[in-house]
Amino acid sequence: MDLHRLKNQFLDYLEIEKGRSVKTTANYRAYLDRFLNWAKISQPEKISEELVSRFRLFLNHYQNSSGKSLKKATQNYYIIALRSFLKYLAKKNIASLQAEKIEIGKTIRPEIEFLGPVEIKRITESAAGNTLKSLRDRAILELLFSSGLRVSELTNLNRDKIDLKNQEFSVRGKGDKIRLVFISDSAKMALEKYLARRTDIDPAAFVRDVQGLKKFSSKKISPAGGKMSEGQRGGSPPDSLRLTPRSIQRIVKYYAAKAGIVKNVHPHTFRHSFATDLLSNGADIRSVQVMLGHSSITTTQIYTHITNPRLKEIHKNFHAKK
């Protein structure tokens, strides 16, 4: 069978049967396309250990038009995609290289940077004020630390999904997995103040153009066949003002600088800080895994080497007791 046809079948399998996201499937397509275009082969039995070794060498030497090389982690993504493809071929009893013969290269994990409670407080309190923008930004900062949300999960959040009474809501994370997210008391207060000031009908929890809300303020959607108002003729308001991940990043960096934080703070720093704070205060790693929406405990374990609350005590009690 033709490899390109098998590749397309594999991608359909990932999306439909394995439930992988559209973005993940697109990434796998890009990785496999580069391999097949480089290898210039059309039969699965032509994939060999020697061919894969030469492909890895190609990836290691590759530079783009700006002279930038591929990171080791990125190189591994290509190999992971290829291994998954080979496992699929074996599942379909199609002769090719055994996936187990390809090893994933080791990568050095970047150092996790997180914020302590004092730093978090300085940043959130720097978003002071009673304007809609200030209330929005304070709610964003409080919710990021309260929930450990990914920035994409925050921007996709609709306000009708937020249950302030029970201080929780559900989000659809990576791999379309749904998890329950909890809201702290301070985040609840910030959200209440912000949402109480929203008079528009945009469904997004966090909107980017505060002035633009006035166009849709208190507008009523016409019944079917009814005459639209002038404000509605300009287009449908839903999702038109939703904040983008890039906007959230700018907001976080602005208030971190305003608070005098010298660390390179970004939205994911709040997620790291959320996990670190939980583990440092005695939460078990399995619970933190669930709250972060990690599919593997291995991903959550990146925090354990910096968050074990007993290490300092153990060192003091047992080290160099002469």
Residues 182-215 pLDDT 10s: 999 999 999 999 999 998 889 999 998 656 555 5
The share of the chain scoring above pLDDT 70, in percent, equals 83
Q: What is the pLDDT of residue 218?
A: 44
> Is residue 22 within 8 Å of residue 15, measured between CB atoms?
yes
CA separation for the pair 53, 274 (Å, rounded): 40
Q: What is the pLDDT of residue 237?
A: 41
Query: Cα separations (Å) of 130 from 74, 126, 152, 196?
Result: 44, 12, 26, 12
pLDDT above 60 for 219: no
- The catalytically annotated residue of 174, 197, 215, 253 is 174
In the annotation, is 174 catalytic? yes
Average pLDDT over residues 75-88: 94
- The catalytically annotated residue of 136, 198, 271, 272 is 271
Average pLDDT over residues 84-113: 86
Q: What is the pLDDT of residue 104?
A: 82
Average pLDDT over residues 152-156: 94
Intra-chain end-to-end CA distance of the chain, in Å? 72
- Which of the pair, 111 or 137, is modelled with greater confidence? 137
Mean of the per-residue pLDDT values of the chain: 85
Q: Which CATH number, 3.60.15.10, 1.10.150.130, 1.10.260.40, 3.40.50.970, labels domain 3-101?
A: 1.10.150.130
Q: What is the pLDDT of residue 21?
A: 79
pLDDT above 70 for 298: yes
* pLDDT, tens digit, 9 for 90 and up, residues 237-295: 444 689 999 999 999 999 999 999 999 999 999 999 999 888 888 888 899 899 998 88
* Ranges 1-5, 27-31, 315-319: which has the least confidence: 315-319
Q: What is the pLDDT of residue 131?
A: 92
User: Model confidence at 313, in pLDDT bands (50, 70, 90)?
Assistant: low
In the annotation, is 172 catalytic? no
pLDDT above 90 for 304: no
In the annotation, is 109 catalytic? no
Q: What is the pLDDT of residue 216?
A: 47
Average pLDDT over residues 153-163: 94
CA separation for the pair 130, 194 (Å, rounded): 9
CA separation for the pair 135, 125 (Å, rounded): 11
pLDDT above 50 for 23: yes
pLDDT above 60 for 231: no
Q: How far is CA 114 from the centre of its chain?
A: 16
Q: What is the pLDDT of residue 174?
A: 81
In the chain, CATH 1.10.443.10 sits at: 117-219+239-307
User: Model confidence at 223, in pLDDT bands (50, 70, 90)?
Assistant: very low
pLDDT above 70 for 217: no
In the annotation, is 272 catalytic? no
CA separation for the pair 298, 62 (Å, rounded): 30
In the chain, CATH 1.10.150.130 sits at: 3-101
Average pLDDT over residues 218-225: 39
pLDDT above 50 for 221: no
Q: Which helix (H) or strand (E) holds 116?
A: none
CA separation for the pair 142, 120 (Å, rounded): 9
In the annotation, is 303 catalytic? yes
- The catalytically annotated residue of 138, 150, 242, 272 is 150
CA separation for the pair 231, 225 (Å, rounded): 17
Look up the CATH architecture of domain 117-219+239-307: Orthogonal Bundle (1.10)
* Ranges 89-103, 166-180, 295-309: which has the least confidence: 295-309
